[in-house]
């Protein structure tokens, strides 16, 4: 998969090397000059060497980006785990507080006396 990405990003260099090798090869063939053929091979070797160094650097950059992304995702996961643990602690504290409030409500004595007396309620109802 990296090959297509690499070829796409270095298309101009690859094209120049191929054209140079073909041109020098044609000149060497038609001129019957072995020195031009050696020059074509040197251009090809230099192009392949440069591409190998560049490919290695490209792969290192891709690996570094992937490692940075993994580190970011691990940090996010750690943050989510801390938040989940804090939420669980809060939920336990809330449950204990609710239990304490329910116990207080259950321990409150019953009050059967009316909030207001009937004649007060009638006076309030008469106001319209």
Q: Where are the domains of the chain?
A: 2-106
Nearest to 3 by CA among 81, 80, 87, 62: 62
> Which of the 8 DSSP states describes residue 44?
H
Q: For the chain, how are helix, strand and coil distributed in percent, rounded to 5?
A: 90, 0, 10
> Which of the 8 DSSP states describes residue 113?
S
Give CA separation, 99 vs 88, 94, 95, in Å. Answer: 16, 9, 6
* pLDDT tens column, 50-73: 878 887 888 899 899 999 999 999
> Residue 47 CB: number of other CB atoms within 10 A?
17
pTM: 0.47
* pLDDT tens column, 42-54: 888 888 788 788 8
């Amino acid at each position: 998969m990296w090959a297509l990405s690499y070829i796409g990003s270095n298309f101009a260099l690859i094209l120049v090397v191929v054209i140079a090798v073909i041109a020098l090869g044609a000149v060497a063939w038609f001129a019957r000059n072995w020195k031009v053929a050696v020059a074509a091979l040197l251009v090809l070797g230099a192009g392949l060497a440069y591409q190998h160094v560049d490919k290695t650097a490209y792969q290192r950059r891709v690996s570094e980006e992937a490692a940075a992304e993994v580190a970011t995702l691990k940090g996010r996961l750690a943050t989510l785990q801390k938040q989940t643990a804090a939420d669980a602690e809060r939920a336990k504290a809330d449950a204990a507080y609710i239990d304490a409030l329910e116990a207080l409500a259950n321990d409150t004595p019953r009050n059967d006396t009316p909030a207001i007396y009937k004649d007060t309620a009638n006076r309030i109802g008469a106001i319209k």
